[in-house]
Chain A
Amino acid sequence: GNSVTQMEGPVTLSEEAFLTINCTYTATGYPSLFWYVQYPGEGLQLLLKATKADDKGSNKGFEATYRKETTSFHLEKGSVQVSDSAVYFCALMSGGSNYKLTFGKGTLLTVNP
């Protein structure tokens, strides 16, 4: 079956620090990969996506590259801001179930000024 493993949180950084949140996956076929973000008091929302190997998804300064050889989709940002404090979820959609997302546990990021 499909599964997503992402690094345990919480992650605490100072403003302007470099961020990496690791994500690896197991899936049948060739999944599409996603990062979702949940800001305090809000619902999850799509942050970025990549649909095939070597694709790079990017949005709001965040990037993630679909690495088929390592089955990974690590989230990175070069310089985090206080406003990036949120919970980040890695997810995939695969194969015959093209509407069902499989999520990781989420990683809480706190950025201090």
Chain B
Amino acid sequence: GAGVSQSPSNKVTEKGKDVELRCDPISGHTALYWYRQRLGQGLEFLIYFQGNSAPDKSGLPSDRFSAERTGESVSTLTIQRTQQEDSAVYLCASKASGSSNEKLFFGSGTQLSVL
């Protein structure tokens, strides 16, 4: 596609339910990031995938959070047993191999609201 696509754009869920967020990166982009932005806060790094290397999961806030990516395609971020503090905008970004590390292409995000 032309850009990074995220779905759904909005998700409302009840506390304790699991949610799955999807990111379609730009075709051919080898690097993929997940960030989140809670209200009034800066973007927080969650996880980084680069090709077939082991992902950098150092930003995942708890073991309720997990993410997968198969090869250089779609990624899913799963949050189990959601809590109200998980409410945030979840942003995905991708980057082409060989381009500067700051040249990320971001999606428009998924607004997650946990009631």
Query: Do A46 and B102 contact each other (CB < 8 Å), given the known contacts A4-B42, A41-B108, A103-B43?
Result: yes
Which chain B residues border A44 with CB–CB below 8 Å? 91, 93, 104, 106
Asked whether B79 is an interface residue with its Cβ less than 8 Å from the other chain, the reply is no
| Contact indicator A45/B105 (Cβ below 8 Å) | yes
Asked whether A101 is an interface residue with its Cβ less than 8 Å from the other chain, the reply is yes
Q: Which residue of A lies closest to B95 (CB)?
A: A99
Asked whether A70 is an interface residue with its Cβ less than 8 Å from the other chain, the reply is no
Place the interface of chain A in its size category: 20 to 34
Place the interface of chain B in its size category: 20 to 34
CB distance from B53 to the nearest CB of A (A): 11
Could you give 26 example pairs across A and B, Cβ below 8 Å?
A4-B42, A32-B102, A38-B106, A43-B3, A43-B4, A43-B93, A43-B105, A44-B91, A44-B104, A45-B105, A46-B102, A46-B103, A46-B104, A49-B102, A89-B43, A93-B101, A98-B101, A100-B48, A100-B56, A101-B45, A101-B104, A102-B42, A103-B35, A103-B42, A104-B42, A105-B41
